[in-house]
Amino acid sequence: MEKLKVALTGTFRPIFHGDMKSVLRHSIDVLQKKSIEMGFEFIPVERGMETLSDAETVSRELEARGVDLVIIQNSSFADGDMILPFFKSTARLAVWAVEETTDSGPLPLNSFCATNLYVSIAGRYSNGYDKPVKWLYGNADTEIFQRRFKTTVRALTAVKNLR
């Protein structure tokens, strides 16, 4: 049976004050362990993406590696155009909103808003990208995230191996 290739990259917007790079690092650590437990190949993009140019580069690199699923974690809010290069990919896409790191005051990450933006763009401006875009929510080690993530990995592993 062929392993599913799952990539994770994060979006960053430096004007937000949250510790977005630590959020991505924690997610990479958790998914690295899950990859062993669940039997998929994990390809983390540790540097993340801050610009459209970064997104174009990451998209091309992951396409060259034959990735089956690209997860774009909105480690913070970022420009909406950063999802556009991934619509040229043959990989399936998932967009991930993480929980805020505080219960009050200004939003340090604004991840949920960015995820809503990206999924809306996918529904309207995906220019021929005909695969459904999955949304994920929660921190990597939470039950709400794990349930949807595991279901997605199992389903896409089956699809890959049926082909």
pLDDT digits (tens, 9 = 90+) for 75-131: 888 888 999 999 999 999 999 999 887 787 777 778 888 899 999 999 888 878 889
- Identify the pLDDT of residue 51: 93
Length of the chain: 163
The closest of 148, 153, 124 to 136, measured between CA atoms, is 148
- Copy the structure tokens of residue 40: 């998929």
Closest CA relative to residue 90, chosen from 118, 59, 121: 59
d(CA 160, CA 26): 28
| Contact (Cβ atoms closer than 8 angstroms) between residue 98 and residue 107 | no
pLDDT at 42: 98
- The CB density around residue 144, as the number of other CB atoms within 10 Å, is 12
Q: How many CB atoms lie within 10 A of CB 119?
A: 18
Encoded tokens for 49: 């993406």
Average pLDDT of 133-159?
Answer: 96
User: What dihedral angle (degrees, nearest 10) is formed by the CA atoms of 35, 36, 41, 45?
Assistant: 50
The rounded distance, in Å, linking the Cα atoms of 118 and 83 is 7
Question: So what's the pLDDT on residue 146?
Answer: 97
Number of Cβ atoms within 10 Å of the Cβ of 155: 13
84 CB-near residues (< 8 Å, 6+ apart) = 52, 55, 121, 125
Residue 100 near residue 109 (C-beta atoms within 8 A): yes
Q: Locate tokens 């939003």: which residue?
A: 107
More confident residue, 19 or 112: 112
